[in-house]
Amino acid sequence: MSTPIRVVMAQLNLLVGDIPGNTGRIIDTALKARDELNADLVLFPELALTGYPPEDLLLRPSLELRVQEALQRILAAVSGVTLVLGYPRYREGALYNMAGVIRDGELLHEYAKQCLPNFQVFDEKRYFAAGDEVGMFEHKGIKIGLSICEDIWHTGPVEQLRAEGAELVLSLNASPFHIGKPAQRRDVLNQRAQQLGCPLVYLNLTGGQDELVFDGGSMLASEQGDILFQGVHCEEALYSCSFDPATGVLKPEQAGVAEPDSDALVYQVLVQGVRDYINKNGFRGVVLGLSGGIDSALTVAVAVDALGADRVEAVMMPFRYTSSMSLEDAEAEARALGIQYDVISIEPLYDSFMQQLAPQFEGLNPDTTEENLQARCRGVLLMAISNKKGYLVLTTGNKSEMAVGYSTLYGDMAGGFDVLKDIPKTLVYRLSRYRNTLSPVIPQRVIDRPPSAELAPDQTDQDSLPDYDVLDRILELYVERDYSAQAIIDEGFAAEDVNRVLRLVDINEYKRRQAPIGPRVTQRGFGRDRRYPITSGWKAGI
């Protein structure tokens, strides 16, 4: 007769490409789960050995050797507990996304992922062959099924497991965040657990990897599809649960957490994305221009929450059009956050540039060139500080601005990471209000005042753009949902606004291609997610 088992979910933050380091983390975690949590079985994320996504590292000739060495190291180091972990593995000349079952020095079973995502940010068919065998093994007399990430979103692999009599299913995941994704996962688990007729253990990776943020949020579902347990988002954790085959009951052994509301979770994702990008790439800290506007105000708050005040430096770079309000508000936030704050006027630099450019500009009327030059003076200063101190420059452009090109190449776009790259302006305001509920660091008039780049007297963003409520809705329909111009107009928007916005999106692809990366939070971010040609005769009207 089968006896109850204790399963531990290892929700880890791993480093892509660091196979030796990830192997060490897996060994240490397995031994801790065995010794401190009395684990019978420890579940690790999808592609835990390489981290996810390894991208073209999977094409390196030494991949197989490194994975083999890692597996041998684990086989030699861990006994007395069963491990289920993900890794890439060649079989008969093809590379597979594998889950392996390891116990007491033996690799007992391997399962190859069947459903390979090849949409949005995923391109697994570039690297992997699809498996076709059922993922099933026995542990202490219990029939345990295996599923790897995308498999659980489809009925085929689940039907296989049901037909083979699975009593418990373990799902290894590297599922990146976007707004609405946690609710989608819960819905899928509800459906698949009912389809299986047995409980389901859903483990998700956590951590930032370039543009992607894996938000954890591991879960347990009953055979009725009820969510029995919800883990934390954007943090490492070990969660234990017990499964009794006599009753078919899966029981969490720790208290779960309430699902955070959407804005709170997006904020956590931004913090995680910044922290991991800076720390995993070895930067000492960050520097950014603090203008007194809302975008830089939110960016610096995220940076401090991610790294600590001692690793964040802000610079106010005023010009003749900079208001006293902006100076006061920037200083107030810097003081509230406790960061290093300096003021460097760009006026002498600007005047020097203009003097040198005078022969080139002779006979030409002032235009946006002079405005852009202000931004480029600031970019030069920030990059010099970055170079000297080893601090990465954070840019502060939001998704609305990136979409329509309301930014300056080699000016406010100069830097290494854009915290708000996938955050529409309307969401910037909501996140700023949310951050102030944790502690009041963003001055209220920064939130209340009309947004302005302050590149000309009395300038506001709406001088050249529709109201952000309108702009963001148009952008959502065009960028994220692929509506045509006419379809957007049919939603009630003015044809003039729609045609102007869509034209701006299309002609500014060349700018976005040169922009820093930033955390993806929407269902379609610029970068890995939306790949459009720069040189194109496509017209958006149809």
Q: Is 292 annotated as a binding residue?
A: yes
Q: Compute how many other C-beta atoms are within 10 angstroms of the C-beta atom of residue 510.
A: 11
Query: Which two structure tokens, joined as six digits, stand for 146?
Result: 């295996």
Spatial CB neighbours of 105, under 8 Å, sequence gap ≥ 6: 75, 76, 79
Q: Is 37 annotated as a binding residue?
A: no
> What is the distance between the alpha carbons of residues 260 and 177, in angstroms, rounded to a whole number?
14
Q: What is the dihedral of CA 99, 102, 107, 108, to 10 degrees?
A: -90
466 DSSP assignment: -
**Contact (Cβ atoms closer than 8 angstroms) between residue 236 and residue 11:** yes
Whole-angstrom CA distances from 332 to 275, 300, 342, 350, 448 are: 24, 12, 12, 26, 16
Cis peptide before 53 (omega within 30 of 0): yes
Q: Is 79 annotated as a binding residue?
A: no
Strands 219-221 and 200-204: antiparallel
Q: Is 175 annotated as a binding residue?
A: yes
DSSP string across 304-343 = HHHH-GGGEEEEE---TT--HHHHHHHHHHHHHHT-EEEE
Q: Is 467 annotated as a binding residue?
A: no
Q: Is 222 annotated as a binding residue?
A: no
Q: Is 455 annotated as a binding residue?
A: no
The residue among 69, 81, 118 whose CA lies nearest residue 97 is 118
Among all residues, which ones are annotated catalytic?
46, 113, 149
Q: Is 290 annotated as a binding residue?
A: yes
**Contact (Cβ atoms closer than 8 angstroms) between residue 58 and residue 86:** no
Spatial CB neighbours of 488, under 8 Å, sequence gap ≥ 6: 474, 477, 478, 498, 502
Q: Is 289 annotated as a binding residue?
A: yes
Spatial CB neighbours of 332, under 8 Å, sequence gap ≥ 6: 443
Q: Is 322 annotated as a binding residue?
A: no
> What is the distance between the alpha carbons of residues 294 and 177, in angstroms, rounded to a whole number?
24
Task: Write phi, then psi, for 429 (nearest 5 degrees).
Answer: -65, -45
Q: Is 396 annotated as a binding residue?
A: yes
Q: Is 401 annotated as a binding residue?
A: yes
Binding residues: 175, 181, 289-296, 372, 396, 401, 511
Binding residues for deamido-NAD(+): 372, 401, 511
Binding residues for L-glutamine: 175, 181
Binding residues for ATP: 289-296, 396
